[in-house]
Structure 1
Amino acid sequence: MRFDEIVIRTDRLDFPALAAGEGPLVVCWHGFPDHPLSFGPLAERLVAAGRRVVAPFLRGHHPATLGRLRFADGLTLAADAAAVNAALSDEPLDVIGHDVGAGVAGRLAAAWPERVRRVITMAVPPPATLGTIFDDPAQQQRFFYVFLFQVPGVGEALLNEALIRYLWRTWSPGLEAPEHVLALYADPAVRAGALRLYRANFDRSLHDPVLADRAKVSEKPAPVPMLVLAGEQDGCITPDNYAGAAAGLAPGSRVEVVAGAGHFLHLDRPDEVAALALDWLR
């Protein structure tokens, strides 16, 4: 898939992004450890169906935004997404988020529902149901890296190419980390930013106080119906974690488990994911 490189100028930050196609916009937010290029197979199918795909780099994941992570909580990233949508269109936009990007899309829909039309999240349950995800010892084991990332020095030593390769192979069995991902995370500044994203899960000093009012609603069910996709073979967040997802979703939402897919389900099963996405976006 051939992408053009663009810059989305917002009142918060200028966001580098990859873009392709013509037609109604779909904004795609990537996760960890990942890169917007990984949306390529899905974007190819969306573009063929007459959509324009814009995939921004998360704050701190591009040379132009390195060091711009004073605050690194999920709501900060959702506020970025709201600003991107506002800069791209006066109308609500369709949004797809994977992994960390799923949290971005879910919190965007909850805190800025006027900025979204249709929402799809992949590989992470809705934010409103994540409060209990650490209760399961088996899930705690799968999240070993989350806890190790909290320890200064340990996180910096652990987050390397070997770990990234391991996570990709474990999360989507048989899938190797692409070179564009390895090249992105070869930059120590990018790795430092990624660690801040994870440390913000527990460190309140990394939460933007300006967004405190939005935080009152960002972890509640969004008023916008969402399509939530999970991979049947996801080695990071297993499908059983979606059993209570309906409690965190608006009426009209759907949860779909994609057969034969792992965590990177848009790479494992791009045809199936594209078909589900296009049906939902219609």
Structure 2
Amino acid sequence: MRKTWAIIGAATLTAALAACGSPSENAAQEDAGGDDLVTLRVGVNPVPHGDILNFVQENLAAEAGLNLEIVEIADYNQPNPQLAEGELDANYFQHRTFLGEWQDANPDDELVYVSDVHVERLGLYSSEHEDVADLPDGAEIAVPNDAANLDRALRTLEAEGLFTMDADAGALATENDIADNPQDITVTPLEAAQLPRSLGDVDAAVVNGNYAIEADLAASANVLAWEPDDAEDYIENYANGLVVRAEDEGDPDIARLAELLHSDEVRQYIEDTWQGVVFPVDEQA
């Protein structure tokens, strides 16, 4: 009986180790079984990341020898832990600034940014007002509560002349760094996914592009302003891209997926589908 359980235990351990291999290791096992497509399990926010990967899966992946298992994750808090724990081969939902913030809080789980794919512009939306000039004194404006996007939202509001930020605030400013606020604007940080639903309770909200698209805010709310996109480091800081564990940074299957995400077909799909709210960027080293 002890020998039987030992055999079963060894078989179980072997299967578990195989499941935790790198994409290329898993590919070799799949090839041995007669399957010539490498499966990559990628965590994404549903829009636009999931839409983009579904386009790749339906139109480009098989010819490149890939099969994408797309795992949709609605919030920003799960894709990095799931990748670090080996539940995903890659994720695609974040920009470098967000990854840097997460990495600082989780120094033992090293994740690597592979390449930029697209940018989602923040927009200032309102269900009640039609122009920034219509915002009354004492207006309440909701903003994303994660540090990187909170700073972006505050800079957007500053660019519209609603208040002035402290010159010493640094790269991750908060509402406490507002220095001059002549209209007595109240800034209310909320979970990014909740921002579209907050529009009935606030004067306006700065909403991430993916959540604005998902909620179809273009049809239900007014766009008062767009995030400025002319800063020198705008793309470097805020383009969304593919992220992997450090040990998989040079994996050839990940490289093939990155190439597909920068193909002319994907670029055209992004431009045609979102017409400026989301725009593709050139691959960056």
Give the alignment's TM-score, normalised by structure 2: 0.34
Larger helix proportion, structure 1 or 2?
1
Pair member with larger Rg:
2
Q: Looking at both structures, which has the greater relative contact order when contacts are Cα pairs under 8 Å and sequence separation is at least 6?
A: 2
Give the alignment's TM-score, normalised by structure 1: 0.34
Larger strand proportion, structure 1 or 2?
2
